Structure 1
Amino acid sequence: MLGHTRGKRSPVTCHLKCADACTQPVPNETDNIYFRDVVSAALTRRTMLKGAGVGALTLVLPALGALPAAAAADPAVPDAATAAGDAGPTAATARSTAGASIDFTAIAPVPADVDALTVPPGWTWSPIIRWGDPLFDPAETFDVNNQTAQRQARQFGYNNDYTDLLMLPGKDGREALLVCNHEYTNPGIMFSETSDPAVLNRQRAVEMAAQGMAVVHLRREKAGQPWRPVVGSGYNRRITASTPFSVDGAAAGTASLKTKDDPAGRTVLGTFGNCSGGTTPWGTVLSGEENFNGYFHAAGTSPAEKRYGLADKESTYGWENIDPRFDARAEGYVNEPNRFGWIVELDPFSPKEAPVKHTAMGRLKHEGANVIVGSCGQVAAYMGDDERFDYLYKFVSSKKVKPGQGKAARAHNKTLLSEGSLYVAKFSGNSPAAEIDGSGTLPTDGKFDGTGQWLPLVVNGVSKVAGFTAEQALVNTRLAADAVGATKMDRCEDVQPSLKSGKVYVVCTNNSRRGTSGNEGATEVNPRNENRDGHIVEITEDRNDVRATTFRWSLLLVCGDPKTNPHTYFAGFPADQVSPISCPDNIAFDSRGDLWIATDGAPSSIGYSDGLFHVPLTGRNRGYVRQFLAVPAEAETCGPVVRDRDGMVYVAVQHPGEDGTWAAQNSYFPDYVADGQSAPAGSWRGPRPSIVQVYRTS
């Protein structure tokens, strides 16, 4: 990746996270070129529960009521009112969208080489939990020189991404469950250098245990105060690359999912490459399996393998050296890659229950998924395929939400994503093609906007794509979407609806290949060639029916640094007054309906640190982007959670010090030593990805 990255994006990150995707041919080689089209990216993260609340798309959900008590083997399950992640309401109780917001003084952009987490005046921060912190036994403390797979599987994992806090019932806001993804690992700064094959294999086993997901029981003195983990809690859980998952949906048990170790095709070991996600109205968490291709050594010869980036080369992590299922060339394991790239559902309140992979929702490089509930009682989940020139998808359940307080209602709702209809988005702009010149200049009507439609792929288990069975359309969803002519996008990342307006916000991070030789040029919703700074799409769907197959769209932001790029747009707000922002990634809303944006890439022309940004969506300050915090050197901002009624903001700080080495670390986050002090004897000085809480001091 050296020579291919711009701004602060690290070649190491590209290699470890997405298997050097930017150096490879674009997987989408179809001719689906729509010069005036835009995609409505994936409705991800906590949107699922937000859409169920009052004011969210004005969709009315039959009240779920209090969720049932768990089985005797599990801790108590929360009621719907306390299961909200983010600032949004649950299905049963909506928070007011008025009278609460976070007041702060915007920080100045921070140079990318500053190894500090910077917050506004009057605020401070502390880690909630770090890589290697124990979950089950206080004696299992982090010892970087003596890591084992067994110990890592009982500790907090590496490179946390999607994050949410689900409140426990009856605890007055003093106890919660933190759920997060552990997307990938960086052996170059996790372990000392070695060429010993046996040591390398032990390190690989640690990495397999460091990826996946985590559930952590938290406690605090009172609302607004910092959290601490409850080590040894029965809620605590680690999901790793070896944890058994059940499989449901139309592709479960089909030939495409059967392997030597699982001839039934219904039990998969592990999850990895987990990026963003979302929290459902029934209190479960969804996780998106994203860049799974880099974990396999495959033949790389079939159209499906090529379309998903599977190749005949050693995998990024070399796990095929310790587990034969990662060598997809071997007899009995050809289908193993087909068992990844799904939406995963985890019930954090039932730690004995196996998580589920939902094949009805399609296989792609999922950023995440978010669910909304319509007045019809059915749910819709929106999902983005996070790769250049790939697509936005929508899933609509066949069954309806079951209201009520009993165990039966919750069990039923946990099956809603198992059966339904899968669609892909096609977007059309309303400006003359000649006015979309690739620079990002606004067309003569003063905005980028248009309409769109959802094209059916599989409807209630039946393929609607000529030449594809339902199994083929779900396992090779990209190929099915190619066949119907979906719109190519600039990497759909997070998407969420606003509780205040009902509009849906689609984050397109970037696409440096747009308009280059052999690749599609600018479209009205992807209006810049070599788009390195990204943009955000604002979508309006039918407010009364999640089954609707049409929508309207416009661009909210065309990102970048206005001082160096005149072709930026901030919803009409004066560009000379905003904080520069680039590569938007994850988003969240506060209770007033303002948008919060986490970035991954920072302004490409300057090289600032990534951060978290606030922008109002209504009123005279609509589009006024202000920076709230900046993360340390070489880190990415992930998983924002904004709880303004508590005066708390949470972010996942991923890959700090990514470009360092074991012998020369580039970050000491979060365990900084005060000026003039030395690190404690025997302690390790190096970065530890962490979940951070930010709160007021004055």
Structure 2
Amino acid sequence: MKRLLPMLGHTRGNRSPITCDLKCGNACSHPEPNTSDNESFRDIVSAVFSRRAALGGAAGITGALVVSHVTAGTAAADNGTFPLGGGKLPFEAIAPVPRTVDTVTVPRGYRWDPIIRWGDPIFADAPDFDVENQSGVAQARQFGYNCDYLNVISDGGNDRSGYLVCNHEYTNENIMFSDAFRAANPKEVVDVALAAHGFSVVDLKRDKQGQPWSYVRAGRRNRRITGHTPFAVSGPAAGSDLLKTADDPTGTVVEGTLNNCAGGTTPWGTVLSGEENFNQYFRGNGSPEHARYGIGSGATGRGWETVYDRFDLRNAEYANEGNRFGWIVEIDPEDPTSTPVKHTALGRFKHEAGTCVLAPSGQAVVYSGDDERHDYVYKFVSSRTFIEGDKEHNKRLLEDGTLYVARYHGNSPAAEITGNGDLPADGAFDGHGEWVPLVRGTESLVPGMSTEEVLVFTRLAADRVGATKMDRPEDLETNPVTGKVYLALTNNSRRTAVDEANPLTANRDGHIVEMVEAGNDHAAETFSWNILMLCGDPSRSTRTYFSGYPADKVSPISCPDNIAFDSLGNLWISTDGQPGTLGLCDALHKVTVDGPNRGRVEQFLAVPRDAETCGPVIHDRDDSVFVAVQHPGEDGSWGAHTSLWPDQLPAGGPVQVGDKVAAPRPSVVQVTRTSGNRSATIK
């Protein structure tokens, strides 16, 4: 199953074409799905078109607060014990790490340890991992592949028990299997891959607070959710004809979840996760809807449609299967018998993030980005309100509410936004915006589209109402101290028309937008915004900006992806793409967002070569930081791996660990403080 790599020779810097292929299905090599003529910073009045006319037009253009758990982004402040902008995890920023270094690098006074690795058995009857003898049955009982969203939650009390929950975004069969195994076992390879997607939940234990955690094999909460696990469908589109297939004529039960990326933990203790680049798994039929979602009509690189009919949307019986992915999903990690849910009320697109916070009214608010060049930022506000202690009630909050998409307006003349990062005359990139409602309850607010159509084809609905095209909206998180919302925009090297919220042409390093909801109410329909930082390396680019902080005193940073907060309101940013843009390993940075040091960027750690930093969790009260290390050694191949992490063999060393063949293993890592001030760059 040899892969085609259309990005070979066309990636930026040293960006791996294999990563482009596996992570997003070579999105940059395909025509941009958003062909709307939406303009930024002006109101666009949507004309009333019939659905047929709207889709025909699209085709023509295409052709030419966790309140009960202390977790990252939700912990309470410390009553002024430390000044805002300080920190409970003191460290000396590490120097940028060259992209060929194959270990986790941390500051002096810290150490790192893996908690759990791809293939580690999580049930009593699960086999030990053997990379040369994999099966779908075994993988469904083992920790999955490329971990992304992450949370580590203590049970409290003596603080010696807890659990870890994370999702698994995608697989890399090139380094998971030998060429001979793939050729001889094509169905088993697909079955392993399907089982390696989804979620893992594992119990944790440790000797005392502040000590490293270890996972519990056969823990009471241990669970695997895979590409085969049944999901219930909730919300206004449940049962829609647009969701029915031969396997599910009711349109209410979906087999599996795929390409889960950033997420969030709800105030009632469940976990949300966004299905992101789901399009790459399906072979489409060339419809305008498929084009808008990036579902191609040719054979897929993964070839799953040759093994399972449901991945071939040309088959009339499965024409709607692709519509059953691209949702926010919710799981209850504390109940391994519970049925996970796909929430249609939150819309369907390439979801990045599922950050849930309570408004002053008690309504649940979920922020999410659509991770595509020139796509949009969304939020959902529930109709019903949160009830403390009533988990079953709260688990239904996301079934009904209002879905919004954002319009951003700048307050500077268009001529002052040069595309080169030059500040406008007022000294800031800033403005205001509004949340444009798409659906309220069961009522469509988009002319010419039914409620079901708006929720299933949310991108097309947002096109119609004139949403603002953004530079790959990734994670959104809320500051636990100030209530402000922070949006990571990873990059958009193809941007030509600029606006004040996206002020750089060829934005290859990305930026961070800070948003303040009107009245500091997350349910508000208007907001103000400003740009906190234009990322990059100030020593090599004049197109950077750090809110006035001296550019020569910041750590270089590029391609912001997942974000989190510590208990004092400091922003932590993990990156995805620095090997290509800066020639550096991807990293985790702390950014001060208030006070005289606003805009200061300090690098805390770096992940191994070819890897991406995901799912940061900051437990500063516990002197701990957790990251999911995704796709280490992605640019290698079987027998010529570019990384063997976390086995820590020397570069160019043997591919054996004992009597076993070695391969890189995506893992969850914890970083903890040590006594003294010794260097602790390896475990």
TM-score normalised by length of structure 1:
0.90
How far the C-alpha of 1:461 sits from its partner, in A, is: 1.3
Give 2:20's match in structure 1, choosing from 11, 14, 20: 14
- Which residue number in structure 1 is paired with residue 372 of structure 2? 387
1:456 aligns with 2:432: no
Match of 2:335 among 332, 347, 350: 350
Judged with a 3 Å threshold, the aligned counterparts in structure 2 of structure 1 residues 603 and 574 are, in CA distance, closer, same or farther, namely farther
TM superposition shift of 1:606: 3.2
Deviation at 1:85, TM superposition (A): 2.6
SS in 2 for 1:368: strand
Q: Determine if the alignment matches structure 1 residue 614 to structure 2 residue 590.
A: yes
Q: Write the letter of the residue equivalent to 1:272.
A: L
Alignment partner, residue 308 of structure 1: 293
Describe the SS at the equivalent of 1:570. Answer: coil
Query: Quick check: 1:287 aligned with 2:285?
Result: no
- What is the CA-CA distance between 1:448 and the residue it aligns to? 0.1
Report the alpha carbon displacement of residue 234 of structure 1 after superposing the two structures with TM: 2.1
Decide which of 660, 666, 677 is 1:689's aligned counterpart.
Answer: 666
- 1:373 is aligned to 358
C-alpha distance in structure 2 between counterparts of 1:139 and 1:304, whole Å: 41
Q: Does the residue aligned with 2:461 lie in a helix, a strand or coil?
A: helix
Count of aligned pairs between the two proteins = 644
Q: 1:242 to 1:346 in 2, by over 3 A?
A: same
Across the aligned residues of Structure 1 and Structure 2, the Cα RMSD in angstroms comes to 1.8
* Cα distance in 2, alignment partners of residues 292 and 448 from structure 1: 34
Distance 1:303 1:167, change over 3 A: same
Corresponding residue number in structure 1 for 2:427: 446
* Counterpart secondary structure, 1:591: coil
Moved more, 674-683 or 612-621: 674-683
Deviations 1:58-101 (A, max 9, x none): xxxxxxxxxxxxxxxxxxxxxx2xx3332623xxx776564361
2:193 is equivalent to residue 217 of structure 1: no
How far did 1:137 drift? 2.1
Give, in angstroms, the shift of residue 35 of structure 1: 5.4
The aligned amino acid for 2:95 is: A
Going from structure 1 to structure 2, the CA distance change for 1:482 and 1:676 (only over 3 Å counts) comes to closer
User: Does the 8 A contact of 1:561 with 1:603 survive in 2?
Assistant: no
**1:115, distance to aligned residue in structure 2 (A):** 1.0
CA distance 1:291–1:680, change in 2 (3 Å) = closer
Counterpart-to-counterpart distance in 2, 1:328 and 1:622 = 50
Aligned with 2:352: secondary structure? coil
Cα distance in 1 for partners of 2:489, 2:112 equals 29
Pair 1:180 & 2:161 matched: no
User: Per-residue deviation at 1:546?
Assistant: 3.2
Letter in 1 for 2:16: S
Distance in 2, matches of 1:192 and 1:34, equals 49
Q: What is the identity percentage for the equivalent residue pairs of Structure 1 and Structure 2?
A: 56
CA distance in 1 between counterparts of 2:507 and 2:81 reads 36
Alignment deviations for residues 268-313 of structure 1 (CA, whole Å, 9 cap, x no partner): 000010000000000000000000110001112x221110011111
Contact 2:259 2:275 in 1 (8 A): yes
Residue 527 (structure 1) aligns with: 503
- 1:104-503 superposed matches below 5 A: 104-137=91-124, 140-170=127-157, 172-194=158-180, 198-300=184-286, 302-403=287-388, 405=389, 409-503=390-484
Which one of the candidate residues 34, 38, 51 is aligned to 1:28?
34
- The residue aligned with 1:647 is 623
8 Å contact 1:205–1:322 — kept in the other structure? no
CA contact (8 A) 2:182 2:189 kept: no
3-state DSSP of counterpart to 1:245: strand
Which residue does the alignment assign to 1:518? none
Tell me: CA distance 1:205–1:32, structure 2 relative to 1, closer, same or farther (3 Å): same
Q: 8 Å contact 2:73–2:477 — kept in the other structure?
A: no
> The residue matched to 1:671 in structure 2 has which SS?
coil
Displacement of 1:331 in angstroms is 2.4
Closer, same or farther: CA 96–323 of 1 in aligned 2, 3 Å: farther
Aligned partner (choices 587, 590, 608) of residue 632 of structure 1: 608
Instruction: Report the Cα distance in structure 1 between the residues aligned to 2:436 and 2:74, rounded to whole angstroms.
Output: 30
Report the equivalent of 1:58. none
* Aligned residue type for 1:220: R
Deviation at 1:615, TM superposition (A): 1.1
Conserved? CA contact 1:84–1:281, under 8 Å: no
How far 1:165 moved relative to its partner? 1.0
- How many Å separate the matches in 1 of 2:112 and 2:181? 39
Of stretches 538-547 and 479-488 in structure 1, the one that deviates more from structure 2 is: 538-547
- 1:139 Cα deviation (Å)? 6.1
> What is the CA-CA distance between 1:187 and the residue it aligns to?
0.4
Task: Report if aligned partners of 1:561, 1:605 keep a CA contact under 8 Å in 2.
Answer: no
- 2: CA distance between counterparts of 1:173 and 1:87? 20
Distance, in Å, in 1 between the alignment partners of 2:336 and 2:429 is: 47
Q: Distance in 1 between matches of 2:394 and 2:257?
A: 23
In the alignment, is the contact (CA less than 8 A) between 2:120 and 2:142 conserved in 1?
A: yes
Q: Does the aligned pair in 2 maintain the 1:564–1:605 contact within 8 Å? A: no
- Structure 2: which 5+ runs fail to align? 1-6, 44-64, 676-683
Would you say the 8 A contact 1:97–1:591 is kept in 2?
no
8 Å contact from structure 1 (residues 493, 506) kept in 2: yes
* Cα distance in 2 between the residues matched to 1:26 and 1:442: 29
Structure 2 letter corresponding to 1:373:
L
Letter in 2 for 1:25: P
Q: Give structure 1 stretches of 5+ with no counterpart.
A: 38-48, 53-79, 516-520
Q: 1:377 to 1:681 in 2, by over 3 A?
A: closer
| AA at the equivalent of 1:345 | E
Q: Using the TM superposition, name which of 539-548 and 325-334 deviates more.
A: 539-548
Q: Cα 1:674–1:173, aligned 2, differ >3 Å: closer, same or farther? A: farther
Q: CA deviation at 1:612?
A: 0.3
Contact persistence 1:582–1:603 (CA under 8 A): no
Q: Partner of 1:68 in structure 2? A: none
d(CA) in 2 for partners of 1:94, 1:573: 24
Residue 138 of structure 1: how far off its partner (Å): 6.9
Q: 1:560 aligns with which of 529, 533, 536?
A: 536
Contact 1:297 1:326 in 2 (8 A): yes
Provide the C-alpha distance between the structure 2 equivalents of 1:663 and 1:198, rounded to a whole number of angstroms.
17
Q: Deviations over 1:381-437 (max 9, x none)?
A: 11100000000011110111113x3xxx11000000000111110010011101111
Pair 375,139 (structure 1): closer, same or farther in 2 beyond 3 Å: closer
- How far the C-alpha of 1:663 sits from its partner, in A, is 1.2
Q: 1:543 to 1:684 in 2, by over 3 A?
A: farther
1:2 to 5, 8, 19: 8
Q: What's the CA shift for 1:545?
A: 3.5
What is the CA–CA distance in structure 2 between the aligned matches of 1:295 and 1:399, rounded to whole Å? 35
Please tell me whether the aligned partners of residues 32 and 485 of structure 1 are also in contact (alpha carbons under 8 angstroms): yes
Alpha-carbon distance, 1:636 to partner: 0.4
Most deviating of 498-507 and 649-658: 498-507
Indicate how the Cα distance of structure 1 residues 675 and 442 shifts in structure 2: closer, same or farther if over 3 A, else same.
closer
CA separation in 2, counterparts of 1:323 and 1:180?
Answer: 26
* Distance in 1 separating the partners of 2:106 and 2:620: 16
